[in-house]
Amino acid sequence: MSVYDLFHLEGKTALVTGGARGLGKSIAKALSEAGARIIITDIHVEEARQAVQEMTPASEQHFALEMNVTDEESVQSTINQITEEYGGIHILVNNAGTVQKKPTIEMSLKEWQTTMNVNVDGVFLTSKFVAEHMMNRGGGTIINMASMSSFISNTEAQSAYNASKGAVHTMTKCFALEWADDSIRVNAIAPGYMETDMTKPIFQPGGELAHVLDYVPMKRLGKPEELGGMAVYLASDASSFVTGSTFVIDGGYTIW
């Protein structure tokens, strides 16, 4: 088998949660370029539809659906719809997430729970229902979006986010162990500070987080497309002996 054959995703269907914008949109694009059919789910379904239209090649083979990862009924019914109408899910990317930069002492329980509901409960629910379908069809691969904040506390106050991403890192190992016998591989990508339309202004000179670049050995932000190669690797047969791992892509931030 050639290296190209190891990496290609032709004939595979990939579900990307929260893929209407940012990192999820970029990962969905990379998977589509490797040959996968993409289904983006998002609470912002119109933005998801626009993201699908921008994909190449063959945007008509990709689809967008509304799904709320914190709502068990929404997750279960959407995944059932995907498996019935589109022939199953080979690849799941648990990308939907949220962050609140707020000191712990100023954070309400509701704010804490909002972060946990999206970043932890959402990964649990989506993985659970997708894995059940994968078991019935002979396996698959799940990619969770963790963070370098799964391992460090960062320089700013965001305890809820860091705790939630630490949970994603651990859930990745737990799911991988539980489902290895079912031929389901589970891994995670842990990005560092990434440049998106939403984050770019706060990292510019004078911005709220401009100082963090002093801690990045490569002295720049990551670009969303720099996650695509890892996503394709983890989704493909190139990583057939890889499970339970979290891959940090942070420009060296966690070296310190």
What pLDDT does 212 receive? 87
Q: Return all residues near 202 (Cβ < 8 A) that are at least 6 apart.
A: 208, 209, 210
What pLDDT does 198 receive? 74
Q: Which tokens go with 98? A: 């949220």
Question: From CA 150, how far away is CA 79, in angstroms rounded?
Answer: 27
Longest C-alpha distance within the chain, in Å? 56
What pLDDT does 91 receive? 98
Task: Please report, for the chain, the start and end positions of each structural domain, with discontinuous segments joined by +.
Answer: 3-249
What pLDDT does 45 receive? 96
What pLDDT does 196 receive? 85
Q: Give the Å distances, CA to CA, from 61 to 39, 54, 86.
A: 9, 12, 10
Give yes or no for a contact between 62 and 55, defined as CB atoms under 8 angstroms apart: yes
> Per the CATH hierarchy, to which homologous superfamily does domain 3-249 belong?
NAD(P)-binding Rossmann-like Domain (3.40.50.720)
H-helix segments, the chain: 3-7, 22-33, 45-53, 72-86, 109-116, 122-137, 159-179, 200-203, 228-235
What pLDDT does 154 receive? 86
What pLDDT does 199 receive? 81
Rounded to the nearest 10 degrees, the angle between the axes of helix 122-137 and helix 159-179 is 20
Give yes or no for a contact between 190 and 169, defined as CB atoms under 8 angstroms apart: yes
> Which residues lie across from 188 on neighbouring strands?
144, 246
What pLDDT does 59 receive? 65
Which entry of 4, 86, 161, 233 is annotated as an active-site residue?
A: 161
Question: For each successive 10 residues of the chain (256 residues), what is the average pLDDT?
Answer: 90 97 96 96 96 79 96 98 94 96 96 98 98 97 98 92 98 98 98 88 87 92 96 98 98 94
Give yes or no for a contact between 255 and 217, defined as CB atoms under 8 angstroms apart: yes
Told to judge if 215 belongs to the known catalytic residues of this protein, a careful annotator would answer no
Q: Give the Å distances, CA to CA, from 119 to 135, 163, 254.
A: 24, 10, 21
What pLDDT does 206 receive? 85
